[in-house]
Amino acid sequence: MRAGSVRAGHEILDELDRFGAGVLLPDDAAFPPLLREIPESPALLFVWGDVSVLVRPAAGIVGSRVHSAYGADAARLLASGVARAGVVVVSGMARGIDAVAHTAALDAGGASIGVLGNGFGVIYPAANRTLYDRMRAGGCLVTELSPGERPHAGAFPRRNRLISGLAGVTVVVEAAPGSGALITTDCALDQGRAVLAVPGPITSPTSLGCNRLIQQGAKPALTPGDILEELGMPGAVQASAERPAVGESPAERPPPPGLSGLQRSLWETLRTKPKHVDALVATAGMDTSAVLTALTELEIRGVVKQQPGMLFELV
């Protein structure tokens, strides 16, 4: 048994060398300090990429694999905002909100940590192959599983505890009841970490889990600044993440990424001056409820704000 274990250990190290990956132990300087504090702290961590990101301030951003356009927009807004402020975005490399959050952080010039439910050498899901390559170049992939180990049901709850364990705060963007993202928030609470949730429409099943968390006392995540505040990074850093450049008027800025067709139409209409909601409805050619829903989503993103008398303007 002992000789076999030694051989297996040598084989693992050889595979890590072949990938250009490595392994960290808890007493290594690059081992994430927050992970040392959690119950069932990992005895080792396989790492692939820039390990320096593992000791930087980090926020977990998680959510459903099946998500709405609103959820994707919210994930982009939050992930890109905190990434520009120097916060590393942690997520689980799954389809949906996880992939959106990783991509937004990298697109913003920031860093991201992907926590895997499989070993190196296995791409799961296969659709994320390009994202795997980007993550190794612009962040770090981590896992407890040996190279070549395939994903299995029991691996994902353990992965989720690492997502929250690596982060000072965990934000859930969209989550239906029973979603794995809610397992991550449970882990965060068990670890004594802050949990934030993105509020959503009460008619949306994928927002029910988030709305329940807020009902139970979680703070709403409305802007990147809400996350930065939980991490103890308010003030100038918060301002740089949320405000446009000095002297740049809303009309001079390009449209925010990820807008729906209706949201883009409303943004274009509001570029010149504030408009009453009736004028926006008339210009959009949509029913009032659809326009109000789109305006609410834009307000949550920090793109528009409402003035007295149902006037709306760009921020």
Q: Provide the whole-model pTM.
A: 0.73
Q: Confidence band (pLDDT; 50, 70, 90) for 59?
A: very high
pLDDT at 210 over 80: yes
- Residue 266 to residue 309: CA distance in whole angstroms: 18
Average pLDDT on 264-279 reads 89
Considering only residues 198 and 233, tell me which one the structure prediction assigns the higher pLDDT: 198
pLDDT (0 to 100) of residue 124: 85
Q: How high does pLDDT run on average in the chain?
A: 86
pLDDT (0 to 100) of residue 29: 92
| Residue with tokens 């693992």, as numbered in its chain | 12
**Paired residues of 196 in beta bridges:** 171, 219
Question: For the segment 162-190, what is each residue's pLDDT rounded down to a tens digit?
Answer: 999 999 999 999 998 888 899 999 999 99
pLDDT (0 to 100) of residue 66: 84
Question: For the segment 287-312, what is each residue's pLDDT rounded down to a tens digit?
Answer: 888 899 889 888 766 678 887 778 88
Report all structural domains of the chain as residue ranges with CATH numbers, in order of start: 2-241 (3.40.50.450), 250-314 (1.10.10.10)
pLDDT at 3 over 90: no
